[in-house]
Amino acid sequence: MADFPWLTVLLVVPLVGAAVLWAPTPLRSRARPVALGFALLELVVALLAVVAFDTSAAGTYQLTQEHSWIATLGVSYAVGVDGVALALIVMSVLLVPLVVLAAWREQGAEGLVTDNLRRYLALALVLETFMVGVFAARDVFFFYLLFEAMLIPVYFMIGSYGGDRSRRRHAALKFLLYSLVGGLIMLVGVVYLGVNGQDGPGRFLTENLTGLIGDGGPLSITEGRWLFLTFFVAFAIKAPMFPVHTWLPDAAEQAPAGTSALLVGVLDKVGTFGMLTLCLPLFPEASQWAAPVIIVLAVVSVIYGALLAIGQKNMFRLVAYTSVSHFGFIVLGIFAIFPLAADTGGTAVAGSSFYMVNHGLSTGALFLLVGFLVARRGSPLIADFGGLAKVVPVLAGLFLVVGLSALSLPGLSTFVSEFLVLVGTFPQHPVPAIFASLGVVLAAVYVLWLYQRVFTGGVPDSTDEQDGRGLPPLSGLRDVRAVERWAVAPLIAVMLVLGFWPRPALDLVRPPAEQTVSTLRYVLDAEADK
């Protein structure tokens, strides 16, 4: 079963779905069931791939495939996953059907009706292919290709659907430009590495591009550091980290909730995933060199993101800023292993890897729930809500659970990962770890205060609301529909299960983390001996 091309199938299924949605077939009119069907099929394939994956060797790349693709350039179609990549793929393909479900009813100002909805779902499926591909790619060129190509469907998903016309196209353009600039800078790095790599087939394979820097390779330490920066800038913009995070709140505010869930839940993980699987192995020395600055930036992201989240008036922006804070944690965990000491373990890295998965689940659910609220009320402003716990008790309950996951309540999986990151960071970087812990406190403030303002207290007088905006009265909002419940319930279930029994997930992410650290130690020690 391990020989079956699982990853290729994972890449193809959503594309077929998108083609069916686009093609002029009778199925076209049943966009929602078709999209959901393909998304669920993808999920099943992904679960089968998990079964085929040998967890006892999660630190190695499995389910690999390698074919020469562009011979002249030495580019290969090379896919393969280790535990982290597999976990992220499963998280992504879990989110997509839920996003489809969440789009079941039209949302947003423009509304996702008929043809628009069909195109939206087709784009989401195309995006799914790119997401799976980018986590599975083991060829740097292939990775880059998907990393950039991914922008186009997202660009349309933000620009065509969602909030106010002129503001959302501004947001789409801002998103695109930030990502494009980062990506193009990375392109220089990719080209430079490739040119200095071995000739012939397999030139861009990740494993063939390692070890090019330093005494053994054709590139000097200085060149290595510059190349690291080209990659890191692209990933930091994608992640997004302070100070290049400003595109995210705009995009999240204007995009439909489902798009935001995918954008923040999955796409932005590509940034941190890239730091982990490309920056560290390709540029070990430079990673160590840059780690102090990156750790500081990460801690700034944690606190600054949380503070800004507290101050937001718009719920979408609030969730976006909480993500900036969370991404700070993830980056902190990845780079906290430096400087490598003899006893440095993979705890922090494993924590970060697990954090990526959890954050996708938690933020995805949060965006969907906020989307439900906004769709009911017709306004994303917190001030337009109040006392909803009595009106929509189930929605309030779901919101509370998901909100608590965002502040890492013990018993939910997010707690495990955040704890691992802090524990892993503390021995070597006590001060950053202490400051980052402040982020946990601030998270309680932004989550609970948000909940308080939206759900608790009395329902404001309906007379106050007649301010000419034509918003539906708060007291008349209806509770979650069955479809919506199904869109969020699986995420909460997974977070609960992994919160009490994180073992299966940790079995996937720990070995790659240990592997990463031991490889780094080997390389850096060899460097130091010379």
Q: What is the largest CA-CA distance in the chain?
A: 77
- By three-state DSSP, how is residue 314 classified? strand
Cβ-based nearer residue to another protein, 192 or 451: 192
Q: Where does this chain bind another protein (CB under 8 A)?
A: 68-73, 144-146, 148-149, 151-152, 155-156, 159-160, 165-166, 168-169, 172-173, 176-177, 180-181, 184-185, 187-188, 191-192, 194-195, 199
Q: In the chain, count of helices (H) and strands (E)?
A: 23, 2
| Nearest approach, Cβ of residue 529 and another protein (Å) | 31
Q: Which is nearer to another protein, 149 or 448 (CB)?
A: 149
For the CB of residue 45, give the shortest distance to another protein in the complex, in Å.
23
76 versus 425: smaller Cβ distance to another protein? 76
The token duo for 91 is 């998280």
Closer by beta carbon to another protein, 195 or else 482: 195
CB of 503 to another protein, least distance (A): 39
Write the DSSP symbol of residue 81. E
Q: Rounded to the nearest 10 degrees, how much is the dihedral formed by the CA atoms of 308, 108, 383, 252?
A: 0
Sign for the CA dihedral angle at 130, 134, 139, 141 comes to positive
Question: Which of residues 230 and 322 has its CB atom nearest to another protein in the complex?
Answer: 230
Query: Least separation, in Å, of the C-beta of 507 and another protein?
Result: 35
CB of residue 269 to another protein, shortest distance in Å? 19
Query: Based on CB atoms, which residue is closest to another protein, 155 or 273?
Result: 155
Question: Measured from the CB of residue 377, what is the shortest distance to another protein in angstroms?
Answer: 24
Toward another protein, which CB reaches closer, 191 or 381? 191
Nearer to another protein, 142 or 426 (CB): 142
Which two structure tokens, joined as six digits, stand for 348?
Answer: 């922090």
Q: How far apart are CA 263 and CA 257, in angstroms?
A: 10
Shortest Cβ 195–another protein spacing (Å): 4
What's the CA gap between 422 and 114, in Å, rounded?
47
Question: Nearest distance from residue 100's CB to another protein, in Å?
Answer: 22
SS3 80: strand
**Nearer to another protein (CB atom), residue 195 or residue 528:** 195
Q: How far is the CB of 399 from another protein (least distance, A)?
A: 31
Please state the closest distance from residue 72 (CB atom) to another protein, in A: 4
What is the 3-class SS of 448-499, one letter each residue? Answer: HHHHHHHHCCCCCCHHHHCCCCCCCCHHHCCCCCHHHHHHHHHHHHHHHHHH
H or E segment and range at residue 76: strand 75-81
Q: Smaller CB distance to another protein: residue 145 or 391?
A: 145
Q: How far lies 489's CA from each of 256, 375, 395, 409, in Å?
A: 20, 19, 11, 18
Calpha distance 439→251 (Å, rounded): 23
Q: Among 8, 137, 29, which Cα is nearest to 76's?
A: 137
Q: Which is nearer to another protein, 250 or 384 (CB)?
A: 250
Q: Which of 434, 371, 364 is nearest to 402 (CA)?
A: 364
10 Å Cβ neighbour count for 58?
24
What CA–CA distance (Å, rounded) separates 286 from 239?
19
Angle between helices 347-377 and 393-406 (to 10 degrees): 150
Q: Checking DSSP bridges between strand 62-70 and strand 75-81, what pairing results, if any? A: antiparallel
Report the 3 state secondary structure along 401-415: HHHHHHCCCCCCHHH
Least Cβ distance, residue 361 to another protein (angstroms) = 29
Q: Which is nearer to another protein, 32 or 169 (CB)?
A: 169
What angle do helix axes 413-425 and 430-455 make, rounded to 10 degrees?
A: 160
The least distance separating another protein from the CB of residue 155, rounded to whole angstroms, comes to 8
